Amino acid sequence: MSSVPPLTTDDPPAVDCVGLIAGWGDYPLVLARKLKLLGYRVICVGIREHADAELAELCDAYTTVNPARGGKGIRFFKRHNVKHIMMAGKIQKLILFRKFAWLRLIPDLTTLKMFYNHFVARNSDTRDDAFLLAFVAMFQRHGLTVVPATYFAPELLVKPGNLTESTITASQQRDIDFGWELAKCMGGLDVGQTVVVKDRAVLAVEAIEGTDCCIARAGELCPQGGFTVVKVAKPQQDSRFDVPTVGIGTLESIVGAGGRCLAVEAEHTIIIDEPAVLQFANEHNLIFVAVAGEDLIPRREAA
């Protein structure tokens, strides 16, 4: 975990502007609104074909770049005197595996230098952590400090407990315990952070396709439904990027596929628009629990 402590509205950093690298989803919008509420100028670099167009109106300065044009983003931040930046929202790594991907992206020299070992020399792998750490290093090499997004909005991290009105069953608890260990193992291997389980059998494991596709695959394989989705932080989770995030879209995927229960890791998972998410869960009789890892140990020992 990152050693950077969370900030509160009473303890803002001594800067007047913050940089935001915005990927796909609502999280960048939520974060930009929070930063504006705290009184920061928000300088945003949106990832092309990912970032929401609303950010252009919400932020004080905005530009878009394709994912392979890191140099443009660095120059934009420096032009606006940004020293601290954060990343929010998903970047779809699948774009790297499209036909003629690099001809479409046309990387600039800054990005090419940083990812040379990953995509040219092939000396390094392209798992998420290796890829994103190289991305962070590229910005920090140019004097931009990358901080966790939750540094400014720690209240987005979910607290432990059953968040919905439905009561969890003994069978679902066993599936959570079972899926938790597997999800942690997969996260430790930097494969994915989500597993889908029913009756302590693994239906699907998340990889590069993302959480929603993983859930949809589980629904296809288990048309009777009733399964449990377990989403956790990696054991080596770097809070500057790739923090587990759920929103209404995640719950819609679960309900649409026939799932019955969602378990996430408390204090390490971001919920986007928690009141709306919990209302949706209750309306669809979906159980949503946030679990602290240490709470699982007595249950496993007692099993």
Q: What is the CATH number of the domain that holds 264?
A: 3.40.140.80
**Per-residue pLDDT band at 239 (split at 50, 70, 90):** confident
Name residues whose C-beta falls within 8 Å of residue 125's C-beta, 6 or more positions apart in sequence: 118
125 and 241 belong to one structural domain:
no
Distance of CA 287 to the CA centre of its chain: 21
Residue 180 has phi, psi (to 5 degrees) of: -60, -50
Greatest CA separation found in the chain?
Answer: 59
Work out the average pLDDT over 50-77: 91
Model pLDDT, residue 111 = 67
Whether 7 is covered by a domain: the verdict is no
CA dist 126 and 16 (Å) reads: 35
Among 86, 91, 60, 61, smallest CA distance to 145 is for 86
128 and 206 belong to one structural domain:
no
142 and 185 belong to one structural domain:
no
- Among 118, 151, 184, the domain boundary falls at 151
Work out the average pLDDT over 287-296: 83
Domain that holds residue 127: 17-151
Residue 92 tokens read as: 């779809």
Among 245, 270, 214, 241, smallest CA distance to 128 is for 241
- Among 151, 176, 211, the domain boundary falls at 151
178 and 94 belong to one structural domain:
no
CA dist 70 and 134 (Å) reads: 11
Work out the average pLDDT over 141-159: 88
Whether 2 is covered by a domain: the verdict is no
- Among 151, 179, 214, the domain boundary falls at 151
257 and 175 belong to one structural domain:
yes
Whether 26 is covered by a domain: the verdict is yes
User: To which residue do tokens 């939750």 refer?
Assistant: 150
pLDDT higher than 80, residue 93: no
Whether 285 is covered by a domain: the verdict is yes
CA dist 25 and 16 (Å) reads: 26
169 and 43 belong to one structural domain:
no
**Per-residue pLDDT band at 202 (split at 50, 70, 90):** very high
143 and 172 belong to one structural domain:
no
Q: Are 94 and 50 in contact (CB under 8 A)?
A: no
Whether 3 is covered by a domain: the verdict is no
Q: Which range in 78-82, 90-94, 103-107, 124-128 is most confidently predicted, on average pLDDT?
A: 78-82
pLDDT higher than 50, residue 234: yes
Work out the average pLDDT over 116-124: 60
62 and 124 belong to one structural domain:
yes
Whether 62 is covered by a domain: the verdict is yes
- Report how far apart, in Å, the C-alpha atoms of 198 and of each of 54, 148, 223, 234 are: 39, 34, 12, 22
Rg (CA), the chain: 20
What is the sign, positive or negative, of the torsion defined by CA atoms of 121, 122, 125, 127? positive
122 and 221 belong to one structural domain:
no
- Tell me the whole-structure pTM to 2 decimals: 0.81
166 and 296 belong to one structural domain:
yes
Q: How many degrees, rounded to 5, is the angle at CA 12 between CA 7 and CA 15?
A: 130
Q: Are 197 and 175 in contact (CB under 8 A)?
A: yes
CA dist 272 and 156 (Å) reads: 7
CATH number at residue 41: 3.40.50.20
Model pLDDT, residue 12 = 46
Work out the average pLDDT over 16-31: 92
290 and 268 belong to one structural domain:
yes
Whether 289 is covered by a domain: the verdict is yes
Q: Are 86 and 40 in contact (CB under 8 A)?
A: no
pLDDT higher than 60, residue 87: yes
Whether 12 is covered by a domain: the verdict is no
Among 35, 38, 9, 162, smallest CA distance to 88 is for 35
132 and 177 belong to one structural domain:
no
Residue 223 tokens read as: 């048309």
Partners of residue 88 on adjacent β-strands = 22
Number of domains in the chain: 2
What secondary structure letter does DSSP report for 270?
E
